[in-house]
Amino acid sequence: MNAPGVVYLVGAGPWAPGLLTLRGAQVLGRADVVVYDYLANPELLRHCPRAETILVGEGPHRKTQAEINDLLVELGLAGRVVVRLKGGDPFVFGRGGEEAEALAGAGVPFEVVPGVTAAIAGAAYAGIPVTHRGFGPTLTLVTGHGKADQDPIAGVDWAAVARMSTVALYMAARNLPAIASALMAAGRSPETPVAMVRWATRVDQQTLVSTLGEAAADAERAGLAAPMTVVVGEVVRLRETIRWFERRALHGLRIVVTRSAGQSGPFVERLDDLGAECILLPTIEFAPPRDAAPLTEALGRLDTYDWVIFTSANGVDFALDALRAAGRDARAFGRARIACIGPATARRLAERGLLADRVPETFVAEALLEQFVAEGITGRRYLLLRAEVAREILPDALRAGGGAVDVVVAYRTQAAVVEPAALARIRRGEVDVLTFTASSTVRHFCDLVGPEAVAALQARVPALCIGPVTAETARDAGFRVAATAESFTIPGLVDALVAWRGGGAN
């Protein structure tokens, strides 16, 4: 018989993946099996890429609490490391206590990892502090959904609850009329402010402020349904002053990010901070050239060039990786000077231990060409390290001016493997903005999404582009380019999104 494993009862928080505790992330990383419910953000499963995952939430996957208890015991007794991932906090109306009892009774070791509980987080994200010295000294947490065979308001001393300064109600959507009536019958004024928060901490969080007497009717008119938490008390009035979540510059926008998976991190992080929901569709990935010989040969004679030109951070990485693989380092550049198109390229070069001698103020090939023309081109030798598919403006102009130019492929782009769920959402039109960071992202996006869905998106969804070259490609493909970054960088694209949204875009 196997020695028992261990079961971790982990609070996932209300939804936002950043609210998972460090301990929660740690035990997810060591899990063999993760048993999760529909109120736990599936993004958290990235912490456990090798684990078996079992959904026990809504729909066809739904299991009774008794079935979940039995499953946890079975897995624990089989010697597995199990994470039971639950929305909110497992011991705050999360039935974690029942699961712990079952594990203890079966002799399965377990640990409780508390989480950020939904009502407190939902109120905070709605701009409501559930405790505040100016609005009374007491707070009570109440479930609005008892056992299936019970009257929803039975067993609660509503007179005592009504005397509390602030009341936070969990799972109260269905029974809100009865709960509101019970509180008013116990003496709470019908004019008491009420905030109803649906899908707390998600980018599509909805917050509706009403009064105790009108809350149920207002929620029904607004179509506000579960999952929803409710805050009752005068402290709700502070929302008008300190609400912050819904005031973020890009709140609620569903933005398609087409950048490669390896490069999208800082862009996605910034969009998240500004309140957007990022739909990740990496349209491209990068690979070494099909024939490495030309790159190897060019790197072997670096010191014979006057200028070595990098057009992207990818070119820097692939070229310098190839140089190192050949057993050489920065000394191989010798007398050659280095030019970079764009600060991101120069920054990546610096991270690899080299400083660019020339970076044009505007981040296109034409600006670099102007600087070369000013110093004289005739008789100079240039090495241009770039992608397999790129514009010919720079090499053609350098040759026309009397320069000798070697154009060498340092890397190539190819279509990426995409997440089917993200692709399905885009094809259904569940997006507000498309972002393109290179001409190749436009072309591969069209190939991935397909002509019918692309045509529907072009008719409704604006595109924002990192620079004029990408914008021209997008327009040629039929997209409506709503804005182009003034600075042809990811921070510049973020600034363009904020300005576009602030200008009344919808």
Both 358 and 320 in a single domain?
yes
| pLDDT for residue 506 | 46
Distance of CA 138 to the CA centre of its chain: 36
Both 424 and 279 in a single domain?
yes
Both 308 and 238 in a single domain?
no
Both 112 and 127 in a single domain?
no
Q: Could you tell me the mean pLDDT of each successive run of 10 residues in the chain, 506 residues long?
A: 86 94 97 94 92 84 91 96 96 95 97 95 96 93 73 82 96 92 96 96 93 97 93 97 94 92 88 93 88 94 95 92 93 94 89 92 72 87 89 85 92 83 93 93 93 96 93 96 89 94 70
| pLDDT for residue 405 | 92
CATH number at residue 65: 3.40.1010.10
The residues, any chain, with a CB within 8 Å of residue 174's CB and separated by 6 or more, are 144, 145, 152, 226
Strand partners, 255: 278, 433
SS (H, E, C) 164-216: CCEEEEECCCCCHHHHHHHHHHCCCCCCCEEEEEECCCCCCCEEEEEECCCHH
Both 383 and 459 in a single domain?
no
In a domain, 402, yes or no: yes
Both 273 and 292 in a single domain?
no
Both 219 and 319 in a single domain?
no
In a domain, 334, yes or no: yes
Helix residue ranges, H only, 87-186:
96-106, 118-125, 158-162, 176-185
Rounded Cα gap, residues 230 and 240, in angstroms: 17
Rounded Cα gap, residues 246 and 201, in angstroms: 10
84 in Cβ contact with 60 (< 8 Å): no
Both 144 and 217 in a single domain?
yes
Distance of CA 157 to the CA centre of its chain: 42
28 in Cβ contact with 34 (< 8 Å): yes
In a domain, 34, yes or no: yes
Rounded Cα gap, residues 6 and 30, in angstroms: 11
In a domain, 446, yes or no: yes
Rounded Cα gap, residues 501 and 77, in angstroms: 54
Both 133 and 38 in a single domain?
no
Both 294 and 177 in a single domain?
no
Tell which residue, 141, 138, 121, has the closest CA to residue 197: 121
∠ CA(486), CA(489), CA(495), 5° rounding? 55
What's the pTM value of the predicted model, to 2 decimals? 0.76
* Sheet of 33-36, strand order: 52-55, 33-36, 81-86, 6-11, 110-113
Rounded Cα gap, residues 79 and 95, in angstroms: 23
In a domain, 208, yes or no: yes
Which of 389, 412, 435 is at the close of a domain? 412
SS (H, E, C) 430-444: CCCEEEECCHHHHHH
284 in Cβ contact with 441 (< 8 Å): yes
Strand partners, 340: 310
Tell which residue, 278, 318, 274, 323, has the closest CA to residue 301: 323
Which of 73, 101, 116 is at the close of a domain? 116
Q: How many domains does the chain have?
A: 4
In a domain, 1, yes or no: no
| pLDDT for residue 155 | 80
| pLDDT for residue 505 | 54
Helix (H) or strand (E) holding 8: strand 6-11
In Å, what is the CA distance from 418 to each residue of 269, 415, 422, 448? 20, 9, 8, 9
Rounded Cα gap, residues 215 and 210, in angstroms: 5
| pLDDT for residue 140 | 96
Both 344 and 387 in a single domain?
yes
In a domain, 162, yes or no: yes
482 in Cβ contact with 505 (< 8 Å): yes
Helices and strands counted in the chain (H then E): 19, 20
Which of 247, 266, 299 is at the close of a domain? 247
Question: Exposed/middle/buried for 53, CB within 10 Å: 0-12, 13-18, 19+?
Answer: middle
Both 124 and 243 in a single domain?
yes
Reading phi first (left if > 0) and then psi (alpha if -120 to 50, else beta), residue 471 is in alpha
Six-digit token string for 72: 């946890």
Residue 188 lies in domain: 120-247
34 in Cβ contact with 45 (< 8 Å): yes
CATH number at residue 356: 3.40.50.10090
The residues, any chain, with a CB within 8 Å of residue 357's CB and separated by 6 or more, are 337, 338, 339
In a domain, 277, yes or no: yes
123 in Cβ contact with 130 (< 8 Å): yes
CATH number at residue 203: 3.30.950.10
54 in Cβ contact with 76 (< 8 Å): no
